[in-house]
Amino acid sequence: MSTPLASRAEILGLSLERLTETLAPFVDRPFRARQVFAQLHHRGASSFEEMSDVAAEIRLRLAEHFTVSRPELVECRASDDGTAKYLLRLADGASIETVDIPDGERRTLCISSQAGCGLACAFCVTGHWGAGRSLTAAEIVGQVHEVRRLAALPPGLNLVFMGMGEPLLNLDALHDAIELLSETISPRRITVSTAGVVPGIEALGRWSRRPNLAVSLHAPDDERRTRLMPINRTWPIDSLLAALRRYPLEPRRRITIEYLLLDGFNDARPDADALAHRLDGLRVKVNLIPFNPDPVLPAWMGRPAPARVEAFRDRLESAGFTATVRRQRGDDVAAACGQLRAFARAPRGGAARRRFEAFRPTPR
């Protein structure tokens, strides 16, 4: 007797070891689990029916008890610059957004780890809608597999956990998903970006295979960083940078410091000097992100003029740091950094909205 569809166990998020244990009562030989695993993670099968090298009777038996689910495509919005944003619906109706960013032969997939975000960073549209829930490992992997299929992405893909949510608040699922995605994508092509969850950074440092680490700093002092990022009250800059100094780095690898530039708030040359002083002695590179406006974000927030961005970068380079400026990609379809949304949910209430607006800075 087959299991009802809603009760069938999801197997996409299982390691080979766990998959072997799970499938053991339903297959005739242990190597069948390896066949299923290869079909899922090397060939991108989305159903048992597609697993042509697995015996037909075993495929039918597995389909009666297990499922391989992927998110449903709701909408794809294409930018004039070639960027594409995918709105995906999960099985329980929660939604996420994923962005495919082409750059010549290079392709980068910006993926989500949560359906929403509870950190309430003042410059982030996702935070305007508030917390949703964490994705399972299967949902993270399914997100990547589905967009790879839809966009016909090449094998040499780069993954950045810079979409919706704080990855290090979903650490177990993140670990399992990266282990599975590393079957076809080198960990050196995978970057996890965090707002500064210190215990998560320390846990990441203990992984045997570590992705690249990016950390959002966005201000050189606690007063301004707290106004932008409430998480700074829990882990202020000194404790965050101390965790980065302890973080194990292989030769020739560096941590990326992400720094949002807001006109008149944190983009002056003295701010660049203060940032360089903070980062002194750390093996880092700095990625400068000129602010991407959005109608739901506070009206005072503005994008600095290009000359101001270049002057900030030059100041960091003169202090001996590698500094790059992130290109604005997909902003015409709200796919740029900080613009991803949660759908089918009301935004934060009036009190939170007023708090967002209250971050208006004193001119510097």
Of these residues, 110, 121, 124, 337, which one is catalytic?
A: 337
| Tens of each residue's pLDDT in the chain, 364 residues | 456 556 789 999 999 999 999 999 999 898 999 999 999 999 999 999 999 999 999 999 999 999 999 999 999 999 999 999 999 999 999 999 999 999 888 899 999 999 999 999 999 999 888 888 999 999 999 999 999 999 999 877 999 999 999 999 999 999 999 999 999 999 999 999 999 999 999 999 999 999 999 999 999 999 999 999 999 999 999 999 999 999 999 999 999 999 999 999 999 999 999 999 999 999 999 999 999 999 889 889 999 999 999 999 999 999 999 999 999 999 999 999 999 987 766 665 444 455 555 555 554 5
> Do both 50 and 82 map to the same domain?
no
Question: In this structure, are residues 122 and 265 in contact, taking their beta carbons and an 8 Å threshold?
Answer: no
Which domain does 58 fall in, by range?
5-67
Q: How far apart are CA 40 and CA 149, in angstroms?
A: 13
Residues 21 and 157 in one domain: no
Same domain, 61 and 76: no
Confirm whether 97 is a catalytic residue. yes
Query: Are residues 117 and 39 part of one domain?
Result: no
CATH at 46: 1.10.150.530
Element (H, E) at 151: helix 137-151
Q: At what angle do helices 171-181 and 137-151 cross, to 10 degrees?
A: 40
**Greatest alpha-carbon span in the chain:** 71
Check whether residue 161 and residue 31 sit in a common domain: no
The tokens describing 33, both together, are 């689990």
Q: Are residues 132 and 265 in the same domain?
A: yes
Question: How is 185-209 classified by DSSP, letter by letter?
Answer: S-GGGEEEEES--HHHHHHHHT-SS
163: which strand partners? Answer: none
In angstroms, the first-to-last Cα distance of the chain is 71
Task: Tally Cβ neighbours within 10 Å of residue 152.
Answer: 6
- Active-site entry in 97, 139, 166, 258: 97
If DSSP codes are grouped into helix, strand and coil, which group holds residue 313? helix
**One domain, residues 176 and 44:** no
